[in-house]
Amino acid sequence: MDLGAISAVQKYTASRPATEPKAEEGGSMFGKVAKDFAQTVAQGEAVAKQAMVGDADPHALVQALAQTELAVETAVTVRNKVVEAYQEILRMPV
């Protein structure tokens, strides 16, 4: 095998960790938003289940449902904007 190829592979391997995300940063912003969305929906479901068996007051149920509705509407709006941007990119002349 050529020494130049081995050297290139070694340099690539050494530079690769610099391009990878760091684990201690906690992931991407999208990951954090998705986790918050999932927690909000799960909390709304938990409060709804408690209300069905009579363990939660109606005010807490209405508040949880409003938060869940807002989170879902926000997610749908973001999704629509992403699809719209993708379609706009597809319409661009090459």
Q: Kindly write down the DSSP assignment for every residue of 63-84, as one continuous string.
A: HHHHHHHHHHHHHHHHHHHHHH
Rounded to the nearest integer, the mean pLDDT of the chain is 83
Residue 13: inside a domain, yes or no? no
Counted domains in the chain: 1
pLDDT tens digits for range 1-59: 566 667 766 776 666 555 555 555 556 888 888 899 999 999 999 999 999 898 888 89
Residue 54: inside a domain, yes or no? yes
Nearest to 71, CA basis, from 79, 83, 82: 79
Residue 5: inside a domain, yes or no? no
Q: Specify the residue for token string 């998705």.
A: 34
User: What pLDDT shows up at residue 56?
Assistant: 81
Domain that holds residue 43: 27-91
Residue 21: inside a domain, yes or no? no
